[in-house]
Chains A and B, each alone.
Chain A
């Protein structure tokens, strides 16, 4: 158990809908990262938040957004869903100190199926 929790575990929805994925980081970790794992694209970095602020963006679609709340949990919002958004969405957390190296610990993932 990494200490990172994600809910829900599975999500099935229809095209055009909107969903919210939730992540709680390990105790003490300030950074939260979101990744998408799909068969064709592999594991891709979406976005990072550090202590409530957006820190880095990767291959995140404009239909997707995220935020990190004062208690450090994070939510990833996916809207106007398309079939191609079906994937595993992972959250990871780390201490993310200001210098040196860092290690990310991953949650179990949320499997999104868009029908």
Chain B
């Protein structure tokens, strides 16, 4: 079945440091890929997505590129801020033609703490 593997956390960085959170996936076909973020005490927010190979999703300074050849979707940010402290989840959903099942399969999440 489908699966997502994220780098184990926690990750602790200083403000303005470079961030990379690795994510690799296993899926049949060509899934859509997502990064969701969960701030303390809150629900999940969509951060960015990519729907086909070589697509780059970006939002709020975060970027991730859909790499089919390495089945990866690593999250990067050039300069993190204290307000980026949160749990980040990589996820995939199958591409579906004819049905309507888009269930998300999540990685275990990576806790990021950014210190001033």
Give chain A's interface residues, CB within 8 Å of chain B. 2, 30-31, 33, 35, 42-45, 48, 50, 55-56, 58, 90, 92, 94, 96-109
- Among listed B8-16, B77-85, B98-106, interface-contacting one: B98-106
Closest to A88 in B: B43
Give chain B's interface residues, CB within 8 Å of chain A. 32, 34, 36, 42-46, 49, 51, 89, 93, 95-109
Q: Decide: B106 and A102 in contact? CB cutoff 8 A.
A: no
Q: Decide: B104 and A97 in contact? CB cutoff 8 A.
A: no
Q: Decide: B109 and A109 in contact? CB cutoff 8 A.
A: no
Q: Decide: B109 and A33 in contact? CB cutoff 8 A.
A: no
Give every chain B residue within 8 A of A45 (Cβ-Cβ): 103-105
Q: Decide: A108 and B43 in contact? CB cutoff 8 A.
A: yes
Contacts A2-B45, A43-B109, A99-B96 aside, 4 further interface pairs with beta carbons under 8 A come to A43-B89, A48-B102, A106-B44, A109-B43
Q: Decide: B43 and A102 in contact? CB cutoff 8 A.
A: no
